Amino acid sequence: MKAQGAGPDPQNGLVPPMLLVGHGAEQWAEANNVATSKDIRHLITSEALDKYARYMDQAFSTRPAQPDDDILLDTVGAVCIDSTGVIAAGVSSGGIALKYPGRVGE
């Protein structure tokens, strides 16, 4: 965020990234002295593993959907209108637990 707020890099004119994923994110972190680790086991809690197991059970279940089955349906949308009439809208489904690694949603 600090890099983004500082504007383009004075040496090469590149605009600092707002969002990076995958190999590009790793390279940027290393170049900017951000601590990284290849060992991600400490990032996964037992609660997250339990939730993942529930999601997988639900995703591949053959039973009809139940009212409380909304754990995979977390897409949200928003529309905002400011005092001058400017309208902005957005959606997000980035919280879905079964997404592909590195996926950046809408």
Whole-angstrom distance, CA of residue 31 vs CA of residue 17: 13
The active-site residue out of 36, 45, 62, 75 is: 75
Whether 45 is a known active-site residue: answer no
Whole-angstrom distance, CA of residue 106 vs CA of residue 89: 12
74: nearest Cα among 59, 93, 46, 89:
93
Half-sphere exposure of 35 (CA within 13 A, CB side): 2
Tokens standing for residue 21: 């994923």
Known catalytic residues?
A: 75
